[in-house]
Structures are given as structure tokens and as C-alpha cells.
Chains A and B, each alone.
Chain A
Amino acid sequence: MRTILQGSLLPPPPIKLSHSSLLFSPSHSHSNLKFTSKSSPSPPTITMASIKVHGVPMSTATMRVLAALYEKDLDFELIPVDMRAGAHKQEPFVSLNPFGQIPALQDGDLTLFESRAITEYIADEYSEKGEKLMCPGCNKVKAITKVWLNVEGQQFDPIASKIAFERIFKGMFGMTTDPAAVQELEGKLVRVLDIYEARLSKSEFLACDCFTLADLHHLPVIHYLMGTDSKTLFESRPKVAEWVKKITARPAWAKVVDLQKQ
């Protein structure tokens, strides 16, 4: 697998941040297998990889996609987006994702965004390659996987990513952590983690007894939180702690973390 990084990873910009999405007006287009329906200008590359990820290794959503690609042993090219310069809010990036958020992924002439839609595509399209990222089985098992995919997206991430924002990203952007906010958010996170503890007492991984996207989607935010005082919330729950250890020890995840060091 070959990754080509064009340009270096810049330190995060001192931009005004709200935790909610950065939303941008769309550009016009007429498309073909693209949500924005616009013919995107190709970035200048000299690569053979048909998969291109536009994002940065520090971004949790980008990391989610990279994890899936590494699990599947897929060749890809990581094309950095100059967040400091606001490149994600302008052309050509907004023709890849009109919501102006990283990552976006191109696979041949297909363009996708929303990390959890991208990982699902990778799991489906490349189901025969590398690790299986969905539970084997019938409709019922798939349905239960969807439950826990939604749990990560709707119950875990909204709280946990705000904690990561408070404890880590705010500092990078010259803002200060709000301890009251952290306390309130952790109060909510422990209720979610209690539910995970009960679930993981009955199932080896969240959706079933194999590692799936439902577990993978948690990796980036958990990775950040385990580097903060919030780690105690995970460590104090035995089944959750075991699960965190297992999923963060996966070789594919180590490769994602490595990219941050480059």
C-alpha cells in the first residue's frame, strides 16, 4: 500500500470554531455519481491509486476513513486539505463536499463525503478484500449492526467529540477548555459507557462477535480521549477497557496513528 502525502501537515489554524458543522453554499454542476453533481477538477497527481482521500490525519472523520482503507489493505492517496487557509470552504474542495468538511473520497469517478457513508461504501465495494467490516449473516445481523452504527453516530459521538474538542482541539486553536462543559459532557458519556459495558458483557464487539464498522467508527475520538483525563471513564469499566484495548491494538489502526506522526 502506498500513500503519497502532498505537502506537509500544517498546524491547525486559529479559526473561529463552533463545534457544529461548517456549512457552505454549494457550487453548480451537473454530475455523475456525485452528491454535488459537479465535475471536480482533478488534483495534480502522479499516482496510480484510484482511491483518493482529501483530508488530514489529525481529523477524526478523516481517520475513520483511513482506518477502513487500512483494514481493507487498499491502496490510496491522501491529499492534504489546507485547513488553515480555509481550503475546505472553497473550490475545488466544495465541489467534492458542498458542506465544506473533510474528508471527501474519490474512487474512480465516484465522489463521496460523510465519513460513515464512505466507510460503508468501502466495506461493501471491497467486501472480498482484507478484513470483513460487517457481520456475516442474514438481514437480522445486518440490522443489529445498523443499530450500533447509529448508536455511535447519535449517542456516543455527539458527546465524546465535544469532550475531545474541549480538552484537545480548543487548546490547539488558542481557546481554553471549559471545565464545567467537560464535567457536564462526561456526566452524559458515563451513561453511554454504562450501556456499552452491559452490551460488551453479552457480545465480544458492539454489533456481534466480530470487529465491524460499529467498533471502528469509535476509534478516532477514543484515541484522542485516551490521551486525556477522560480516559478514566473507559478504564474504569472492565469490558469497555478490554474492548478499547482490543480495537486500538489493531495493526490497521496503528498505521492511521502513524500518519499523524509524519
Chain B
Amino acid sequence: MAAIKVFGHPASAPTMRVLLTLHEKNLDFEFVHVDLMGGEHKKEAFLARNPFGQVPAFEDGDLKLFESRAITQYIAHRYEGQGTNLLPADSKNIAHYAIMAIGMQVEAHQFEPVAAKLVSEQVFKLKKGLTTDQAVVAEEEAKLAKVLDVYEARLKEFKYLAGDTFTLTDLHHIPTIKYLLGTPTKKLFTERPRVNEWVAEITKRPASQKILQ
């Protein structure tokens, strides 16, 4: 029985972040499906794993965690020697780690809040039989364009966001980007050459292919 368990939902971007990390590291784990439609994530048993009632939750032996970016960082450090290295090449170099940390904060605070709204309007609302608010889409796309302009400049200097190797910083973007590629927002990525290349690189990775179907 695997010591690592992920409690989540395959369509959840934060769950996918954790699954990507586990696959990159070739780690055995058990996936426990949480019935979001049935409200399982708001019930006592799940709340004991994540009091905020959100997927994913995670277990490695007797260590219990939540917050996808805390989980991925734990995995990247704990299993540093295994599979893909998701930390900077010189992970003990505090300055290099700080540069990666900036990228992780940028994803969490600059990219994701905007990108998630676009996914919500153009994907999840439709699934619930609601209509997309195009004014919101236009406003959020304008913000995302500015973020991606910064990414474009960054990626002209380096192959990946934190430097020349693939790290958690890039990985954290993958699930939401995959959703956006299925919407008209895709154009914001394809019309920026380096961003476009970076998106192609990170989504074609074997771990990404496993998760993103």
C-alpha cells in the first residue's frame, strides 16, 4: 500500500499540480477520488484533512498536508534525488532558490488569480449551464496579456521561468494553461513566440501528457 496518498479530483487544477509533481518524480501513490459533486469536500472526514474544504489533500506516511504549492514543494525537497529535479540545479544556492521562489509567487499572485477567472468564465460556467460574461473575459485577458509580456521578456533570457532548467515554477502553471488552451484565450499564448514555445515544452513532457489527456 502506497505511503503517499492524494485526495483530489482529476479535473481540479491544484490536484493536477500535485499529480504532475508525483509523476515527474516517478513516485508511487494512491489517488483517492473526492466526490466534489456530492459535496464530499465540505464534509467532516475531508475537512479533517483540509479545513478549508478544498482539494487536494495529501498524505505521506503520517505527514498530512494541504495547499497544492506546499505539497509540491514538500515532494520536490523530500524526494530531491529522485526522478526529475524540480528545484534549481544548485538547490543549496540560496540566491538561485530565491529566484525560483519569486517565480512561484508570481504564478500564485499575478498569473493564477487572473487565469483562474478566465477558466471559470469560459469553462466551468458552461459546464454549469451558465453563460460566459464577455466583459469579464476582456478585462481579465487584458491583465493576463501584461503578465505574459513579462514572461515573454523573461523567456527570451532563459529557457524556463526560473532559469535554464524546468522547475516547480513552470510546473505550477501547467494545469491552468492546459484549460486556457481550450478557450479563445489561447491566442494570448500563441501570439508570443517564446511563451508559445515554453507552453509547448512544458505540456509535452511525459508527466504532463499523463495528466492532461
Contacts and interface: CB of A to CB of B under 8 A. Distances in A.
A232 interface: no
Given A26-B149, A26-B150, A195-B51, A147 B101 contact: no
B108 interface: yes
Contacts of A195: 51-52
Contact of B114 (A20, A28, A117, A121): A20
A143 B77 CA distance: 9
B63 interface: yes
Contacts of B101: 114, 116-117, 120-121
Contact of A121 (B74, B98, B106, B158): B98
Interface residues of A, number: 47
Given A99-B110, A117-B98, 8 more contacts: A20-B113, A26-B149, A37-B158, A114-B109, A120-B98, A121-B97, A147-B65, A198-B51
B110 A21 contact: yes
B36 interface: no
A190 B205 CA distance: 41
Q: Which of B97, B110, B157: most chain A Cβ within 10 A?
A: B157
Interface string B147-178: 10110111001100000000000000000000
B104 A143 contact: no
B189 to A, nearest CB: 16
Contact of A23 (B51, B69, B94, B147): B147
Interface in B94-147: 94-95, 97-99, 101-106, 108-110, 113-114, 143, 146-147
Interface of A: 20-21, 23-31, 33-37, 98-99, 110, 112-114, 116-118, 120-121, 124-125, 139-140, 142-144, 146-147, 149-151, 153-155, 158, 192, 195, 198-199
A145 B77 CA distance: 14
A139 B77 contact: yes
23 contacts: A20-B113, A20-B114, A21-B109, A23-B150, A24-B146, A25-B153, A34-B99, A35-B99, A35-B103, A37-B153, A37-B154, A99-B150, A110-B95, A117-B101, A120-B98, A121-B101, A124-B98, A143-B70, A143-B78, A146-B69, A146-B70, A150-B69, A199-B51
A124 B92 CA distance: 10
Contacts of B95: 33, 110, 121, 125
B196 interface: no
B73 interface: yes
Nearest to B148: A23
Given A99-B106, A117-B105, A158 B113 contact: yes
Interface residues of B, number: 38
Nearest to B152: A26
A46 B106 CA distance: 32
B66 interface: yes
A33 B93 CA distance: 11
Contacts of B40: none
Nearest to B78: A139
Given A146-B74, A150-B70, A25 B102 contact: no
Nearest to A199: B51
A125 B158 CA distance: 24
B44 to A, nearest CB: 13
A155 B150 CA distance: 26
Given A25-B146, A35-B99, A143 B63 contact: yes
Interface in B198-212: none
A112 B100 CA distance: 10
